[in-house]
A = this chain, B = another copy of it.
Amino acid sequence: MPKLCSDSSGGCAVCPSRLTTEWQALNDEQVVLLDQSKRRRFYSPGETLYMQGDEGDGLFCLQSGLIGLRQIDENGKSVLLRLCQSGSTIGYRAYLTNSDHFNTAEVLSPSVACFIERTTVRKLLENNPLLGEKFLEHALEDLSMVEGEYARSLTMTMRSRFLHVLAVFYEQLGQRDEKGSPTLVLPIKKKELADLIGAKPESVSRLIRRIEDDGLLKVDDRHIHFHDMDAVLRDAGVAI
């Protein structure tokens, strides 16, 4: 049962997420409509926004937290396709193509998301061509992203791909510790890291061991301390 989010937000009008999503295209009047019809809710890890195969009857706007899109094939093999951070619109593809969801959106850390239902989206799309363009942009961006990952998966080793996701995480969440060296707190567990690069947990474990031995970094539970960021980026196959 949807527990509505009690903490009072200023609504869509002042939601910082709105400006990073397609909803930036809305005019004031439309923002009011969006605000009235959206349903805001808190989600705990383990819950899902929707399940693979569900009807795409609306979309989600992630205000805070972390969502993973997981695909499971007929043989039960599971992959984490990608992660969505705050300011992502989730589930737009199934909605726009009028089809079922291709994957399951699972909540990886405590999240707040708004659900915007089919009829509202349709109304907004009809009255605002700019909104359609924004969705097109979004789709094209996702396409580039996935295509890039696809190419990586075909050409690069696990090690490269692993270091690549670390590099990406660092870009988004990286910190400097007291000594000024780059640090990162992983937002997901190692098992999920494995699912993200198509590896087994045991392999990730061993991988980390060898990367540590090579002196690139040190892992302590979810804390990563980078010792040689240049080497990390080089091994990740990123141009420095």
Q: List residues of A whose CB falls within 8 A of some B CB.
A: 71, 73-75, 77-79, 81, 93, 96-97, 102, 129, 132-133, 135-137, 139-144, 146-147, 149-151, 153-156, 197-198, 237, 239
- Kindly state the separation between the CA atoms of A132 and B75 in the bound complex, as whole angstroms: 37
A78–B142 Cα distance when bound, in Å, is 21
Residues of chain B within 8 A (CB-CB) of A136 are 96, 132, 135-136, 139
Quick one: closest B residue to A199, CB to CB? B154
Report whether B102 and A144 are in contact in the complex, using a CB–CB cutoff of 8 Å: yes
Do the beta carbons of A137 and B239 come within 8 Å of each other? Answer: no
Instruction: Say how many copies of this protein the assembly contains.
Output: 2
Chain B, Cβ-Cβ closest to A142: B143
Bound CA span A77–B97, Å: 34
In the bound complex, do residue A75 and residue B237 qualify as a contact, i.e. CB atoms below 8 Å apart?
yes
Task: Kindly report which residue of chain B lies nearest to residue A71, judged by CB atoms.
Answer: B151
* A150 interface neighbour in B74, B78, B150, Cβ under 8 Å: B150
Task: Contact check, A73 vs B237: say whether CB atoms are below 8 A apart.
Answer: yes
Residue numbers in B under 8 Å from A151 (CB-CB): 71, 73, 79, 81
Determine the distance from Cα of A137 to Cα of B98 in the docked complex, in whole angstroms: 11
Give A56 to B144 CA distance when docked, in angstroms.
Answer: 14
Contacts of A143 in B (CB 8 A): 93, 139, 142-143, 146
List the B side residues contacting A96 at CB < 8 Å: 136, 140
* B77 adjacent to A155 (CB under 8 Å): yes
Query: Please, which residues of chain B bring their CB within 8 A of the CB of A198?
Result: 153-155
Nearest Cβ on chain B to A151's Cβ, whole angstroms: 5
The docked-state distance in angstroms from the alpha carbon of A197 to that of B150 is: 11
Instruction: Give A137 to B95 CA distance when docked, in angstroms.
Output: 12
Residues in chain B near residue A78, CB distance under 8 A: 155
Question: What 6 A-B pairs have minimum CB-CB distances, sorted nearest first?
Answer: A154-B198, A77-B155, A139-B139, A150-B150, A153-B153, A136-B136
Chain B residues near A79 (CB-CB < 8 A): 150-151, 154-155
A97 neighbours in B (Cβ, 8 Å): 137, 140-141, 144
6 contacts between A and B (CB under 8 A): A81-B150, A96-B140, A97-B144, A136-B139, A146-B146, A154-B197
CB proximity of A238 to chain B, nearest CB, Å: 8
Smallest Cβ-Cβ distance to A156: which chain B residue: B77
